[in-house]
Structure 1
């Protein structure tokens, strides 16, 4: 996801795998993942600072500091930072299934594998997630 930095705050090991949590710092003008759907987990985003553009289906929303965005299983979604300032958000995953996806992406980049949209989609498929091709 470009210049996004992520830090795993809870990998599920302290919550019986019911909850995972990640802090993300999105650099200015950072595209997010391809629009996708999760089949097995809810995802929440709490914006700490900056503005994050969420696209859910064919509708776009700007979420600013203090906004909570919840995405239930099956909802097509993506996000990006379209602004000139960094954006910081906390993401939750219930259950924690998707935390490993981010670790897989980190491992890929550490191995020198280019982080292309196709590589991200392939990795997503391991975690009951797929592209929302009807909204691509």
Structure 2
């Protein structure tokens, strides 16, 4: 049996206008846990969702994300940003070194409300559902034009992702003196 060692920045990459995902350890490597490095751009909101069978772990490597992992006292369909648990828990501003574990059946979400990209290590069990999910959502983003919410919803259902609030990507507007390259797009 051989293990896997990857230098920094290595792994199979999926780069879209909304995210950059680097596959680190996958089912193809013999892993029962899918492990990814994900760059989350400013303005990306995965939307609150729940998995019946999957569990996830998020670790913030750089930048800042808002994280949520609880059943709210009252769900709203448009946004999770103001959700509160019966115990008074709210979304948490998470910076480098913060982590979130999500057991099956737990509503959860993340978004980058900052003005810079965030980078996180993301693990999902069991493998390979999120591997297929990331590959298919990359195809949807790559199709160009507006993303079809119906296509995203159908795809997510196939991979045990039950959406509670919409996925959104509203990148900050460029300043007149700023090019896309300077902004990091």
Aligned equivalents of 2:91, 2:148: Cα separation in 1: 23
Aligned to 1:52: 65
Which segments of 5 or more consecutive residues in structure 1 lack a partner in the other structure? none
Q: Which has the larger radius of gyration?
A: 2
More helix, by proportion:
1
Aligned to 1:105: 137
> Are the counterparts in 1 of residues 17 and 141 from structure 2 also a CA contact under 8 Å?
no
Which of 58, 65, 78 does residue 96 from structure 2 map onto? 65
Aligned to 2:50: 37
Aligned to 2:121: 90
Aligned to 2:175: none
Which segments of 5 or more consecutive residues in structure 2 lack a partner in the other structure? 1-15, 73-82, 84-89, 166-185
For the aligned residue pairs, the C-alpha RMSD in angstroms reads: 2.0
What's the TM-score, normalizing by structure 2?
0.64
Once the two structures are TM-superposed, the CA of residue 113 in structure 1 deviates from its matched residue by: 6.8
Counterparts in 2 of 1:77 and 1:107: CA distance versus 1, 3 Å: same
Once the two structures are TM-superposed, the CA of residue 120 in structure 1 deviates from its matched residue by: 2.3
Aligned equivalents of 1:2, 1:77: Cα separation in 2: 23
The number of aligned residues is 131
Aligned to 2:11: none
> Are the counterparts in 2 of residues 48 and 88 from structure 1 also a CA contact under 8 Å?
yes
> Are the counterparts in 2 of residues 31 and 81 from structure 1 also a CA contact under 8 Å?
yes
Report SS of the residue matched to 1:13: helix
More strand, by proportion:
1
Aligned equivalents of 2:142, 2:115: Cα separation in 1: 28
Aligned equivalents of 1:102, 1:2: Cα separation in 2: 13
Aligned equivalents of 2:27, 2:51: Cα separation in 1: 18
